[in-house]
Amino acid sequence: MAPSPFPACALFKPLLLFSLLPTIATSSAIKFSHLPLFEYETHQLTDEFLSTLTPDIRALVAFGSASDSLPPKNTSACKVFPGDTNWPSPAVWTALNTTLNGALISTVPAASPCYTNWGNYNADTCAAVTKNFTNPYFHEDDPTSNMWPIYQGKTCLPTAASNTTCSLGGYPTYVVNVSQVSQIQIALNFARNTDIRLVIKNTGHCYLGKSLGAGALSIWTHNLKTISFLPDYRSDSGYTGAVFKVGAGVTVREIYKAAHDNNVTVTGGICESVGFAGGYVTGGGHTPMSTHYGMAADNVEALEVVTADGRFITASNSSNPDLFWALRGGGGSTFGIVTSVVVRAHPRIPVVTSTFQFSTTESGISNDDFWDIMKAWWKMFPVLGDKQTYSYFWIWPTEDAGFRFEMKPFWAPGYTLEKFYELLDPWFSLLKEKKVKFDPNPLYFDAFYPAYHVSWGNETVGRVTKIPGNRIFPRGNWESEEKFEVMFNAIRNTSLNGVVVGGYHQAPMNRLNQDNAVSSAFRHTVSFLIGGPTVSAEAGREEMREAAKVLDRDILGPWRKVAPESEFGGSYLNEANVAEPGWQESFYGVQYPRLLEIKRKWDPKEVFYATTAVGSEGWEVRDGDWGTKTQDGRLCRVGT
């Protein structure tokens, strides 16, 4: 089996100044008396602490004020960048580091041991880094590394050419290795008060490079790993039942394990290394459990957040409800820095999972037969969604001008083997009639976790040869034969043009009946497709520009046409084409105007920026034209 073209899951020191930071008594800081803060959340920045600092240092790390809402001064056309006269002096960075208890790290690119210009050249380390560069956990453990080097600017890839130069590119300049909320507040205040770009990195999974940024101060949430289980929670939204409170650095794998250990189920993504409480949940988060519980964001009951003014607040139904609304689907790195989320936990549920594949070559069938089978498969999506199932599949053009279909897997929660066959037998009959060689081999598990484990493996990341995009297809396309045909022909044509198509049938709908910022496209969809052109590892500006054009015009163009925003088509902001035209409506659906209003209210000084995030249209990264949008450049206001 060839590897998936995208990083999908193949089945394939002492703290010297610690005592300076006061520990807030848990009771005084809690908005919900029944929901304790994590220990790391009890260490908060206070006005008392600020008053112990010298005035010049205090001015740099003090909280924001009402004057933040004044129109920005003309001097701030661009964020302050290394080399600028306003860039803080080494002494200031050292002072910042002191207030941070020594948690400030100066960026050393992960692959720098492969080069001589960083002074840390080591052939053995370089070999290990080279080997590890496709391993997501390697990038997660590094303070600044990112899994999509194209958006970093490819300035420090693992290489055997040690005499070439490794530069920072889109990596941030400094990073705060956060272990307390107070450090997030100090770093954020510092970035705002000095007008330096701020980025947030959790795992570095983002497809669009949103956890990168040249000349930035980065907040690294990776070590905020606490998880707690509360079996009897009463939320201010009206929900009563089990919840988890999950730290910002927890991965999907860690929360799945905790859920299993507590005999419950949570809504997470399909790749185990993806962060749970960062970009995933705030971006909406699609999940195999959407069949029962909608989007991951629909399951959020509260979040603890550091806002742009540096204050630490709770967002929930009764506390800052507008922020609560926006943080559930409105995207990461936009409204605040989440330190933990409270999510619903559901009863244990059995799952039937089925992984199989077939090809025109192995089965000796014609391409017409293959596409008849695909059409029958596609036609079932609304029913399959209504029957609470989900699938992840791939269609590969093969070398002998045929096609291969890979189901990996079909996912049926709450099903028995009998019910599984009952649902899919009509389609399987067609396969048998066409003499297709396949073996669905469905497996029954009495819980999510073991089913998850046989269905999805570890992903391959760190490659520079793909630029993907996606489209969300609305149910309305299935409502008339004519519309269906037009859509199906467009998708088949993508495949015929040699593009590998990854797909899902999934219908998150609004199963928990939530009012939040999850894109309206997700509420209407029954399927979601991923595709993208291949580029060479050495692709320069011209090749990248051409590939971006192919993605936009030849792959996503026809998909957009058959799934326009006006009919609730759209694109998933977390796995999208970084250059998606009209991304506001495409990524955020009908929610965009309200999201923008909330963004302006909570972040008047535009501390938070990420490409394609709400409110980012006023900014651009001047990266010298890479043919695609990288984070390797200065962040400036558009038109300045």
Chain positions contacting ligand FAD, by CB under 6 A: 7-8, 147, 199-207, 210-211, 221, 248, 269-271, 274-275, 278-280, 282-283, 285-286, 332-333, 337-338, 459, 574-575, 610
Helix spans in 517-556 (H): 520-524, 541-549
- Residue 106 touching ligand NAG (CB under 6 A): yes
Of residues 334 and 359, the one with the C-beta less far from ligand FAD: 334
Least Å from the CB of residue 316 to ligand NAG: 9
d(CA 384, CA 291): 10
Distances (CA, A) of 332 to 35, 325, 581: 24, 13, 20
Q: What is the DSSP string of 434-449?
A: TT-------EEESSHH
Least Å from the CB of residue 495 to ligand FAD: 22
What is the distance, to the nearest Å, from the Cα of residue 576 to the centroid of all Cα atoms in its chain? 10
Of residues 425 and 617, the one with the C-beta less far from ligand FAD: 617
- Residue 453 touching ligand NAG (CB under 6 A): yes
Q: Which residues contact 413 (CB under 8 A, 6 or more apart)?
A: 288, 289, 291, 292, 349, 350, 351, 388, 389, 390, 448
- Residue 177 touching ligand NAG (CB under 6 A): yes
- The answer to whether 439 and 396 are in contact (CB under 8 A) is no
- The answer to whether 54 and 62 are in contact (CB under 8 A) is no
d(CA 320, CA 1): 50
Of residues 210 and 599, the one with the C-beta less far from ligand FAD: 210
H or E element at residue 288: none
Binding mask 299-338 for ligand NAG (x = CB under 6 A): ------------------x---x-----------------
Output the 3-class SS for 55-72.
Answer: HHHHHHHCCCCHHHHCCC
Among 46, 116, 134, 223, binds ligand NAG (CB under 6 A): 223
Q: Which residue has the tokens 């955020």?
A: 588
- The answer to whether 180 and 43 are in contact (CB under 8 A) is yes
Binding mask 125-164 for ligand NAG (x = CB under 6 A): ---x--xx--x-xx--x-x-----------------x-xx
Q: Which residues contact 325 (CB under 8 A, 6 or more apart)?
A: 515, 516, 517, 594, 598
Of residues 164 and 536, the one with the C-beta less far from ligand NAG: 164
Least Å from the CB of residue 364 to ligand NAG: 27
Of residues 558 and 627, the one with the C-beta less far from ligand NAG: 558
Q: What is Dmax (Cα atoms) for the chain? A: 81
- The answer to whether 307 and 602 are in contact (CB under 8 A) is yes
User: What is the total count of residues that contact ligand NAG (CB under 6 A)?
Assistant: 38
Of residues 22 and 350, the one with the C-beta less far from ligand NAG: 350
Q: Which residue has the tokens 């297709």?
A: 436
What residue 88 binds from ligand NAG, ligand FAD, none (CB within 5 to 8 A, per partner kind)?
none
- Residue 457 touching ligand NAG (CB under 6 A): yes
- The answer to whether 272 and 251 are in contact (CB under 8 A) is yes
- The answer to whether 57 and 49 are in contact (CB under 8 A) is no
- Burial (CB count <10 Å: 0-12, 13-18, 19+), residue 594: middle
Least Å from the CB of residue 110 to ligand FAD: 15
Among 82, 102, 350, 476, binds ligand NAG (CB under 6 A): 102
Least Å from the CB of residue 487 to ligand NAG: 11
Q: Which residues contact 231 (CB under 8 A, 6 or more apart)?
A: 242, 262
- Residue 347 touching ligand NAG (CB under 6 A): yes
What residue 128 binds from ligand NAG, ligand FAD, none (CB within 5 to 8 A, per partner kind)?
ligand NAG
Least Å from the CB of residue 158 to ligand FAD: 19
Of residues 436 and 467, the one with the C-beta less far from ligand FAD: 467
Q: For the segment 576-605, give every residue that binds ligand NAG (CB under 6 A).
A: none
Q: What are 436's two structure tokens?
A: 């297709």
**Binding range to ligand NAG, per CB under 6 A, among 233-241, 305-313, 400-408, 423-431:** 233-241
What is the distance, to the nearest Å, from the Cα of residue 27 to the centroid of all Cα atoms in its chain? 34
Least Å from the CB of residue 341 to ligand FAD: 9
Residue 246 one-letter amino acid = V
Least Å from the CB of residue 200 to ligand FAD: 4
Residues interacting with ligand NAG, by CB under 6 A?
13, 74, 97, 102, 104-106, 128, 131-132, 135, 137-138, 141, 143, 161, 163-164, 177, 179, 223, 236-238, 263, 317, 321, 347-348, 453, 457-458, 489-490, 493, 497, 554, 558
